[in-house]
Structure 1
Amino acid sequence: MKKQWIVGTALFVLMSGYGWADGEPPTENVLKDQFKKQYHGILKLDAINLKNLDAKGNQATWSAEGDVSSNDDLYTWIGQLADYQLLEQTWVKDKPVKFSAMLTSKGTPASGWTVNFYSFQAAASDSGRFVDDIKTNNKYLIVNSEEFTRPETVPAVNLKTTSHVPLSASNPHIR
């Protein structure tokens, strides 16, 4: 009976010590400022939920989920067609996008915080850049915009007059 009492007391002390290791999360304003700096002001943190994974002293590792958005419309260059540059819009300004990431924090409320986001994964593309003259310059074609393909401007194809060779006729190995 004495051994059970000692084991129970030891487990209680160890479990309560685990609770002391829980790090206090940085404030939302600190997280937003650090995120903005780390992503050079291109992306902004709208909402975040943290789950503590590990804490030792004034350092902690967190799992983060929430919403981010871009400060501008962002585009990725796809190709060129004569004098036109083909772009794909990858981020819409101020449209929230779900994300998940890991982050480490170092510090305390009294000493200040250093935060580093890593393993960032978003529901939107991870590429894109701001194009300052996209609205005024006609050399850009946005391939995923509504104006790029209008049904009334696409020519109809007459399938009866188009020559068509079945795959099996052009390749004797296909039957």
Structure 2
Amino acid sequence: MKKQWIVGTALLMLMTGNVRADGEPPTENILKDQFKKQYHGILKLDAITLKNLDAKGNQATWSAEGDVSSSDDLYTWVGQLADYELLEQTWTKDKPVKFSAMLTSKGTPASGWSVNFYSFQAAASDRGRVVDDIKNE
């Protein structure tokens, strides 16, 4: 009888330790706001689709796909000729680009959300900077 009690207690503890969270995703507005903050307003999230990979308690890991765009034209330096810098346009303002990424979320709708995007990969180059005084001649 003692052995059955020990086995029963062990099974109960294992089952309660393996309870999974609901994995409710943050709203699209929260994701857009957090993305904009993380990428310093240079990139903005246009559309996103999430797939839950793991959830424990109030934390979850997601696979994300969707569209991002740049809030400005972005250029990267490719060379120099005398007094002229040669730049390549890597992002066009407001032109959607497909992306995939991973993200972690922490929180609930009642407590608020903390979201972190990582392993970001886009169809366009991930480099570039805003150039205010560019001349396309």
Q: Shorter-chain TM-score: what band?
A: 0.7 to 0.9
With normalisation by structure 2, the TM-score equals 0.84
Indicate if the aligned counterparts of 1:22 and 1:54 stay in contact, CA closer than 8 A. Answer: no
Alignment pair present for 1:134 and 2:134: yes
Which segment drifts farther, 86-95 or 21-30?
A: 21-30
Unaligned runs of 5+ in 1: 1-9, 136-141, 148-175
Greater radius of gyration (CA) = 1
Aligned length: 122
Q: Which residue type is aligned with residue 53 of structure 2? A: L
How far did 1:98 drift? Answer: 0.1
Taking structure 1 as the reference length, what is the TM-score of the superposition?
0.66
Q: Give me the CA root mean square deviation.
A: 1.7
User: Identity percentage over the alignment?
Assistant: 88
Residues in 2 aligned to 1:45 and 1:91: alpha-carbon distance in whole angstroms: 14
Larger relative contact order, structure 1 or 2 (CA cutoff 8 Å, min sep 6): 2
Contact 1:22/1:52 (8 A) holds in 2:
no
Larger strand share, 1 or 2: 2
Q: Which runs of 4+ in 1 moved over 4 A?
A: none
Distance, in Å, in 1 between the alignment partners of 2:109 and 2:38 is 20
Amino acid of the residue matched to residue 43 of structure 1?
A: L
Runs of at least 5 residues in structure 2 that lack an aligned partner in the other structure = 1-10
Quote the offset at 1:124 in angstroms. 0.1
